[in-house]
Amino acid sequence: MSKLATTVNGLALPNPFVIGSGPPGTNANVIGKAYDEGWGAVICKTISLDASKVVNVQPRYGRLRSRTSKEIYGWENIELISDRGFDVWIDEFKQLKDKYPDRILIASVMEEYREDAWYEIIEKCQDVGVDAFELNLSCPHGLPERRMGSAMGENPEIAGEVCGWAMKAAKVPVWAKMTPNVTHIEDPSRASLAAGCDGLSAINTIRSVIGVDLETLRPEPTIEGYTTPGGYSCQAVKPIALRMCMEIANLISAEFPGRTLSGIGGVETGEDAAEFILLGSDTVQVCTGVMKAGYSCVREMCDQLEAFMDKHSFDNISDFKGHSLQFFTTHADLVQRQADARAKKKAEKDGKCVRADEEWRGDDFVDQSEALSGN
């Protein structure tokens, strides 16, 4: 068995790399491509019961580049959830499970604040064989007027209620996708887990404005001269995502042992994935990275992650999941630790300083000489 193989909430994945909900999972054709290239699992682009309300604009992406290399490190999107009919998705779910019966297919679902709608979408999707669900409670733009997306995830009470509805209907694992656009991500996370969710995904994109065109004086991306804030992703969000995943992982460890976490945010290499796993993630999701590099990037990421594991003699993902969480503490504790270390070092140096000729020792001669040196 591959060192990268892992089982999460009973789902057997060949590796921890998951296609995150978005354009890379926008139809059966591209989902099949992801399986063929070796991705561990695929989460489809978020679907709803009524796609008629979903109308996208062009352009809908804005990118931030390095001033020197021109490499893309920030990406904003104002793209909505899937504009394809629900019945089309149901047919494609069937096709995918027939063709790839052993691969993991996760349905990302979003609905209005109505219990019957969540029951319906969960029941119809699981009837055609999807392996799990991801509840999109976190899209920072699009349809907030219908109390969808982050309008739910920013309110722990609503998030918990919606997760409870989903859990009543679901017979397969359910993850709730968290929004970073909150003060304390533990609050909606705790509410979602308390409602019974098997795991969490974090983070969704950060509400943003990518920039302003200094020639036209219009914010970007510009549609007929106007825009709207969108969701920020890519390498630049990784430090924020790592911090929030660390906080969620500590919450899970303390209050909900056994629940899982799928880390998201700027993953483009196997080393990126290792960082998320070290901070408590069971899997990692990639979306913008695929839009930049294509589906085949998973091969190199798998090689890089396995090389990291070989370097540290880790035989499987569980060997190092959460390993680095133990090294977080309070600032007050950091101050005390540093003071203790300095005191110990001074004591050791003082102990090596000779004050009389009779104190010189042959075995410690070099150290004693060093202790007496001023530079």
Q: What is the pLDDT of residues 302-361, one digit of tens each?
A: 999 999 999 999 999 999 999 999 999 999 999 999 999 999 888 877 777 777 888 778
302 is an active site residue: no
φ, ψ of residue 152 in degrees (nearest 5): -90, -50
pLDDT at 47 over 60: yes
Token pair for 36: 């063929």
Q: For residue 59, how many other CB atoms are within 10 A of its CB?
A: 12
Q: For residue 234, how many other CB atoms are within 10 A of its CB?
A: 22
The rounded distance, in Å, linking the Cα atoms of 261 and 283 is 7
**DSSP per residue, 276-344:** HHHTT-SEEEESHHHHHH-TTHHHHHHHHHHHHHHHTT--SGGGTTTGGGGG---HHHHHHHHHHHHHH
The reported pLDDT for the residue numbered 120 is: 98
Q: What angle do CA 176, 275, 250 make, to 5 degrees?
A: 50
Radius of gyration (Cα) for the chain, nearest Å?
A: 25
The rounded distance, in Å, linking the Cα atoms of 165 and 200 is 16
The reported pLDDT for the residue numbered 365 is: 82
Token pair for 262: 């799928």
Helix (H) or strand (E) holding 261: strand 260-264
The reported pLDDT for the residue numbered 14 is: 98
The reported pLDDT for the residue numbered 51 is: 94
pLDDT at 246 over 90: yes
pLDDT band at 145; cut points 50, 70, 90: low
| CB crowding 65-81: b at 16 or more within 10 Å, else e | eeeeeeebbbbbbbbbb
Determine the 3-state secondary structure of 179 from DSSP: coil
pLDDT band at 144; cut points 50, 70, 90: low
Token pair for 175: 């993850």
Q: What is the pTM of this model?
A: 0.93
Question: What are the angstrom distances between the C-alpha of 166 and each of 192, 197, 209, 213?
Answer: 11, 9, 33, 43
With tokens 């309008």, the residue in question is: 151
The reported pLDDT for the residue numbered 364 is: 80
Task: Give the model confidence (pLDDT) of 55-84 as tens digits.
Answer: 999 999 999 999 999 999 999 999 999 999
CB distance 200 to 186 below 8 Å: no
pLDDT at 1 over 70: no
With tokens 């880790």, the residue in question is: 314
The rounded distance, in Å, linking the Cα atoms of 143 and 263 is 25
The reported pLDDT for the residue numbered 356 is: 82
The reported pLDDT for the residue numbered 358 is: 83
Mean pLDDT of the chain: 95
Active-site residue (options: 44, 139, 197, 287): 139
Write the burial class of residue 44 (CB in 10 Å: 0-12 exposed, 13-18 middle, 19+ buried): buried
Average pLDDT over residues 88-93: 98
Determine the 3-state secondary structure of 173 from DSSP: coil
The dihedral over CA atoms of 233, 234, 236, 237, expressed in degrees to the nearest 10, equals 50
